[in-house]
Structure 1
Amino acid sequence: MTPALSAQALTKDECVTGLRTVLGILEKWQATSDQACRILRISRSTYTRAKQRETNWSVSLDSDQLQRISLVLNIHGALRLIFDNPENVYGFAAMPNENEFFNGHAPLEIMARGDMISLYETFRRIDALRGAQW
C-alpha cells in the first residue's frame, strides 16, 4: 500500500479529482450513495456536489478521508491485477464472500460499516488474493 497522503500535500483540485475518481469506482462496484458516504466519511452534500461535476467546485479533505480514497484506489488496483474481466473487477465488491473475514457478506457491505479497520482489512484480504505478503 502506498504511504498515506498528507492533507497539505494535495491541492483542493487534486482532492476533487481523487474524490470523483473513487466515487466512479464505487458506482461501478454498485455502492449506494449512503455506502459511498460511509466508506469515504463524506457528507451527503459533498457526495452530491462531487457527482454533479461542477467545474468551479473545490473541496478540502482531511488525512482520514485521503487515506480512505487511497485504500479504495488500492483495492481497485488489486482487483485489476487479480481479475482479467471487468465483470469481476467491478462485480467482486458486491458479491457475497465466504472468506472467514467476510463471513458471507459482500466486501462492499464490510467497507460500508464506515470504520477505518473494516476498510483496511478489506484491502488486506483482497490484496492477499494477488499474493501480497503481510
Structure 2
Amino acid sequence: MSKHIFKDRASHVPDFCRPTVDVIAQFSGKWSIFVMGNLNNGPRRFSELEEAIPGISQRMLTLTLRTMERDGLVAREVTPSIPPRVDYELTERGRSALAPLTALHLWAQEHSDGIEESRRSFDDRDA
C-alpha cells in the first residue's frame, strides 16, 4: 500500500499542538473506534471485523487497520495457509488508549442530551 495515504493530520497547527492534534485525529473517525471496540476482547480475523462493523467497506477497513498498524495501535499477523489467515489485535499501546476513549464515551453519553439541546437553542436563535 502506498505511503501517500497516510496524511500529516496536524500540518496546519503550531508545533506544540501537533502531537495532540495528530493523535486525536486518529480517533476522530468512527471506524477506528469500532475496530478498537471489536479488538478489545482479543484477536479477530479481517472477515470477522468486517462482519462485526456494519457499513464498513473492505477498503475502509483495510485503510483503518493499516493506519492503526502504522501508529502501533494494532498488530497484524499473517498465518500462511490457503487462503492466508490474517489476524489483528490491539497492541499494548492500543489497549492503553481504551481507558481514555471509554472515559470520553461515558462523558459523551452523559452530556449528549444537553449538547443536543444547546445545539437546538443555538440554531433556533440564528434562524
Alignment TM class, shorter chain as reference:
under 0.3
Q: TM-score scaled to structure 1, two decimals?
A: 0.26
Q: TM-score scaled to structure 2, two decimals?
A: 0.27
Higher relative CO (Cα under 8 Å, sequence separation at least 6) belongs to 1
Give the number of the structure whose residues are more often strand, by fraction.
Answer: 2
| Structure with the greater alpha carbon radius of gyration | 2
